[in-house]
Amino acid sequence: MRIMTFQDSTVLVTGGAGFIGSSLVERLLDEGAQVRVLDDFSTGRRENLTGFQDRFELVEGSVTDVDACAHACGGTDFVFHQAALPSVARSLADPGRTHDVSATGTLNVLRAAHAAGVKRFVCAGSSSAYGNTAALPKREDMPARPRSPYAVAKLAGEQYAQVYAGLFGLETVVLRYFNVFGPRQDPNSAYAAVIPLFATAAMEGRPPTINGDGEQTRDFTYIENVVLANFLAASCPGEKVSGEVFNVGCGGRISINDLWREIREAVGGGVDAVHGPPRPGDVKDSLADLSLLRERTGFEVRVGLKEGIEKTVAWIQGS
């Protein structure tokens, strides 16, 4: 498994103040990269950058702004494109804004990266592209069946990235994330992900609300594995990865009911959950086939679900 250090490289992270983006920024700085961040702080948080906020260049702006994208990409060697408007629920409330940021925004960054002569463009995709197909695990050669505006917008961004690799000569790699979690994931957001919500509820002795019967399953992926996948996607020879889409997960799944039990155990307390109606646009089951990613990049999961939950709970308790 060969991972470049990025020392002396100039690297742009879009959405660098977000949960995943800030984790990439911190690791890139530790590897000796010259880092630039493009973020408008609409969903990213300045506190995610605490401790290293003076070590990178900040371009405060949106991926919907063509000029901001051009400025941010200028002189960069690599782009890690993490900027998006996350959440299925948010996309149902405002599909137009979701499309502007996640689809058109991705195209804007691709255009700017191509014009700037970027060496490699690594793009955050989403497992939501698979939709509600019954077949498991999800393989990259399966047809896309998006069920929400969020999934459609993320899939459009993926396809733009592939077009830029095939027609314009920009090396692009798409990573379809499966339910990423870990430190810096905001438990207080109106669209907070399930693990920080559950962990906070357990610590406070509150019952969380589980959408539907709780038997839906997910492949939860600790942030350290996602950072590793991004680095490998940027490091591997272009003939192995350029123009490709890869799943990034742990290769295991757990029901939401069992997840609550795991988190209660990690916290050392908690009450029974309550159940609400199913959430529109959600899929029933999700599980990543990691065969292609392993074959092309040498990726292996470093942190499993149980260890990841323990690390996340410890971070929330200490924050």
Indicate the pLDDT class of residue 191, thresholds 50, 70 and 90: low
pLDDT at 2: 61
Prediction pTM value = 0.95
pLDDT at 1: 58
Mean pLDDT value of segment 12-41: 97
pLDDT at 73: 98
pLDDT > 80? residue 190: no
Q: Is residue 274 part of a domain?
A: no
The range of the structural domain enclosing residue 95 comes to 10-178+223-250+287-302
Whether residue 245 contacts residue 130, with contact meaning beta carbons closer than 8 Å, is answered with no
Number of domains comprising the chain: 1
For the ranges 37-46, 126-135, 171-180, the lowest mean pLDDT is seen at 126-135
Mean residue pLDDT across the chain: 95
Q: Is residue 168 part of a domain?
A: yes
Mean pLDDT value of segment 122-138: 94
Q: What percent of the chain has pLDDT over 90?
A: 89
Q: Which residues carry out catalysis?
A: 150
pLDDT in tens, 152-173: 999 999 999 999 999 999 999 9
Q: Is residue 237 part of a domain?
A: yes
Q: Is residue 121 part of a domain?
A: yes
Indicate the pLDDT class of residue 193, thresholds 50, 70 and 90: confident
pLDDT at 192: 67
Q: Is residue 189 part of a domain?
A: no
Q: Is residue 188 part of a domain?
A: no
Q: Is residue 278 part of a domain?
A: no
pLDDT in tens, 54-93: 999 999 999 999 999 999 999 999 999 999 998 888 999 9
List the CATH number of the domain containing 20. Answer: 3.40.50.720
pLDDT > 80? residue 4: no
Mean pLDDT value of segment 128-132: 93
Indicate the pLDDT class of residue 283, thresholds 50, 70 and 90: confident
Mean pLDDT value of segment 271-284: 90
